[in-house]
Amino acid sequence: MDGIHDLGGKEGYGPIDVDDDGSPFHHDWEGREWGIAQCARTPGITIDWWRHCRELIMPQDYLGRPYFDSWAQTDLSTYIEAGWFSMEEVIVGKATPGESYCGPAAAMSLQQVLQEDHNHAFRFDAEIESVPVFSIGQHVLTSIHGNVGHTRLPQYARGRKGVVHAHHGAHVLPDLSAQGKEVHQHLYSVSFAATELWPEVQNSKDKVYLDLWESYLSDGQP
Amino acid sequence: MPDFDSKKVAEIHEQLHSHLPSDSALRVKALETLLVDKGLVNPDTIDAWVEAYTEEIGPKRGARVVAKAWSDPKYKQRLMQDAPAAIDELGYLGKATAHLKVVENTDDVHNLVVCTLCSCYPFSILGIAPAWYKAAAYRSRAVRDPRGVLAEFGVNIADDVEVRVWDSTAELRYLVLPQRPPGTGQMDESELADLVTRNSMIGTNRELGINRGSTD
């Protein structure tokens, strides 16, 4: 979707607040939200559906509210959409007795959680029968259109010519994964000259690399 | 089960916008309370995750990987060829690093990592991303004006050095291998790791040195 989340190359966001004290969390609630996101996910959803639900947050909230707040709102939206929480329960902030009870969940220790983090090294690739259409060094052209749902081809890189830098096998296609469908498609790293992407860039050899699925690409003559 | 219904979620967000308290702490509290009430989450497990990413998992892991690559050419070769396996040798494979790629800075190349579409980050070796990495200013500008962005971090890149920006649009995650600073030939891995900053592994820091290292 051409949403507020697609920030690459957008202008007007000002200087970067480079100061950072290295603390992972600056408020207790940020740590709580991080922990919640690690130990629970709405049953049946995919990472791409979760990302899409975050993209669907109203623009003023997406830009104006704190980062981990947007995670909490995304979590709430996925639980409500899937029928685990009612809107009333969320507004009141507690469960209606007897609704969707499936617990209690077991407590995990620090050591168990560290092992769980290791278990969370999820892979998204798989062997597929079709051979890759593009080869390393080949010139490619990106699609001029996005996708009304979730997609990972940013607006700034649409309709642009690039060169295949690497092939990574077949990975889960986010556009369909966000609809609950697991389809693998060849994934490539594609390099784009900065001069191809940005009108103000002249005489530069700088490049931007994106990881793009095969259906985002077509053959592009140099 | 989810219906994967975008319109429904957009409406849910509108309702949440209108009816939730503004205070983020109250919103997260409501989420946690509901998850605990429904038996989906145990609060002690949340505590353990907070502790894990406060005390155990963070940029010190990435710094150790970099120091080992500087010290051991064979390890560096394995890291460049198969980063997930190489970090797993140290027990660091985990959340968001199963498709890790390492990109190496040289005299002629500087690498910078961003996620313009969300905030993808190699959690199990760098921990929680800094606030600026997740903010609109960095996400919008890193791909368009990387040299201007780097200058704001105090990093000036010579004209003849190529800047490569890596936009994390898939499940691949990127770790920058910074250059080993001169004059460190006698240092052991532990001393070298102390020189490696978090920002140098994202690419917003370039020249490391004995007096330049910090915890940022």
Predicted-complex ipTM score: 0.97
Closest CA to A85 of B39, A71, B43, A77: A77
Please provide the average confidence, as pLDDT, over all residues in chain B. 96
Contact map slice: B 1-30 vs A, CB within 8 A = 1-6, 8-10, 12-17, 19-20, 24-30
pLDDT in tens, B117-167: 999 999 999 999 999 999 999 999 999 999 999 999 999 999 999 999 999
Residue environment code for A41-73, b if the CB has 16+ CB neighbours within 10 A, otherwise e: bbeebbbbbbbbbbbbbbeebbeebbebbbbbb
User: What residues does each domain of chain A span?
Assistant: 28-119, 130-219
Is it the case that residue A102 has pLDDT exceeding 80?
Answer: no
B119 is catalytic: yes
Q: Which CATH class is domain A28-119?
A: mainly alpha
Position B138 scores a pLDDT of 98
B18 is catalytic: no
Is it the case that residue A77 has pLDDT exceeding 60?
Answer: yes
Determine the residue of chain B that is closest to A90 in CA distance.
B30
Q: Which architecture characterizes domain A130-219 according to CATH? A: Roll (2.30)
Q: Looking at A56-60, A97-101, B45-49, B178-182, which range is the least confident one?
A: A97-101
pLDDT in tens, A5-49: 999 999 999 999 999 999 999 999 999 999 999 988 888 999 999
Residues of B in contact with A107 (CB under 8 A): 42, 44-45, 48
CATH number of B58-202: 3.90.330.10
Q: How many CB atoms lie within 10 A of CB B107?
A: 9
Determine the residue of chain B that is closest to A108 in CA distance.
B45
B118 is catalytic: yes
- For residue B141, what is the DSSP state? H
Q: Are B180 and B70 in contact (CB under 8 A)?
A: yes
pLDDT in tens, A121-149: 999 999 999 999 999 999 999 999 988 89
Please provide the average confidence, as pLDDT, over all residues in chain A. 95
Report the C-alpha gap between B133 and B123 in whole angstroms.
13
In one letter, which amino acid is A185? Answer: Q
Q: Are A140 and A190 in contact (CB under 8 A)?
A: yes
Is it the case that residue B215 has pLDDT exceeding 60?
Answer: no
Q: Please indicate if any CB of chain A lies within 8 Å of the CB of B73.
A: no
Determine the residue of chain A that is closest to B58 in CA distance.
A24
- For residue B55, what is the DSSP state? I
User: What residues does each domain of chain B span?
Assistant: 8-55, 58-202
Contact B15 A63 (CB under 8 A): no
Specify the DSSP element, H or E, that contains A72. helix A67-81
Q: Per DSSP, which regions of chain A are E strands?
A: 125-126, 139-142, 161-172, 184-193, 207-213, 217-219
Q: Are B110 and B203 in contact (CB under 8 A)?
A: yes
Q: Which two tokens stand for residue A87?
A: 């809107």
